[in-house]
Structure 1
């Protein structure tokens, strides 16, 4: 078999020659005997290198096994000699193997494709975080058009960030487009300046920038700074519940315990006793205060200033997490 492969399956490629093309049918795999190849994707007519392979390494195996189109282009860097394993040869080899081996290989390839997809999603989110950070640095250098509004040419942002991160302009433009459909940014167009990227709430945008940086560092250090720490999902749930009652009462800050208990059953489908620990923590922090009226009726006093700070923190974290999810696509 080895001699047959050497004679019948050896292929030679010159520098710059395409060996397999992204999107084509995958009817063979290759084992590099000598030379080097590069693996890349093309985005906006721009090549993004994924890997460089040399002697003993293989490529094209996933498409051969599962029959899906090629996921990348492979091009010879030097003079290359490859052993090409065609589908007919591969099927012949499998025919002499146990049936479970073919099933196993298909499962393995599927897992590799899923892992590759997850990595691409992760890469997209990380690029989104870095783009936000660069936007903040670039806007900070610009003169404010008013006391709080920051503007920058859309074209300039795209060109500069594309250059700094070495990513396609369309990817940067896509991130900007996702940001303007959030409360953090917007865009406008005029004939003098063209399309512009605008940030009106600069402090909140900077907070999002810090959030992006913190989430990036979290993957390295595993720590979370207090500004973006969520003590418990139960606390978040209870604060949202209190906020609903405050809105009902036109922000009147005294809430009858009996009423709170009935609303808790209605809105959260739970008894207020389930939140005693959360209430105790909020009392310790000064956000809530337990009190008793002259007639013996129990109620809760809400320090609106402290409550708003705490509640807004969680509102922002939820918003920021949702924006990062937008970067996945």
Structure 2
């Protein structure tokens, strides 16, 4: 897929929310310029999962698995993205052989599960660092 296939361009400023976790997936996105942070809520706390840059794609997991957004995406500085509409995305996926589509869906489901587990591990690591830090300060 190339940028000519993504006629809708959107621009965001630093801190703007591009995608909200838990919302129904309607589009996927290609970062044309800038960076974004991908975060996931775990136990009411936001955990940084990844930082994406120009050329990276996000939002595809929800379209493939037909589920809600698994994470939030926030602009870091000024960001320009190309929007891949759900219908356009589905047309591309429908061109794949059935067995390949099943493999892609299985991979997305596993990635979603892994992201959830890593987010929980990240939160536990942060709690552990906080406890260790409090011991260092008190002594």
Determine if the alignment matches structure 1 residue 42 to structure 2 residue 9. Answer: no
Larger-Rg structure: 1
Question: RCO higher in 1 or 2 (8 Å CA, sep ≥ 6)?
Answer: 2
Note if contact 2:27-2:85 (Cα within 8 Å) is conserved in structure 1: yes
Supply the distance in 2 between the matched residues of 1:36 and 1:50 (Cα, whole angstroms): 14
Structure 1 segment 89-108 matched on structure 2, within 5 A: 89-94=88-93, 97-98=95-96, 100=97, 103-108=99-104
Supply the distance in 2 between the matched residues of 1:119 and 1:110 (Cα, whole angstroms): 14
Aligned residue-pair number: 132
| Structure 2 counterpart of 1:114 | 110
Note if contact 1:39-1:50 (Cα within 8 Å) is conserved in structure 2: yes
RMSD value, Cα: 3.3
| Structure 2 counterpart of 1:53 | 52
Please report how far the alpha carbon of residue 106 of structure 1 lies from its aligned counterpart in structure 2 after TM superposition.
4.3
Would you tell me which structure has more strand in proportion to its own residues? 2
TM-score (structure 1 length as normaliser): 0.35
What 5-or-longer segments of structure 1 have no aligned partner?
131-159, 167-329
Note if contact 1:35-1:54 (Cα within 8 Å) is conserved in structure 2: yes
| Change in CA separation of 1:120 and 1:88 when aligned onto 2, cut-off 3 Å | closer
TM-score (structure 2 length as normaliser): 0.75
| Change in CA separation of 1:25 and 1:116 when aligned onto 2, cut-off 3 Å | closer
Note if contact 1:28-1:64 (Cα within 8 Å) is conserved in structure 2: yes
What 5-or-longer segments of structure 2 have no aligned partner?
134-139
| Change in CA separation of 1:69 and 1:117 when aligned onto 2, cut-off 3 Å | same
Note if contact 2:65-2:108 (Cα within 8 Å) is conserved in structure 1: no
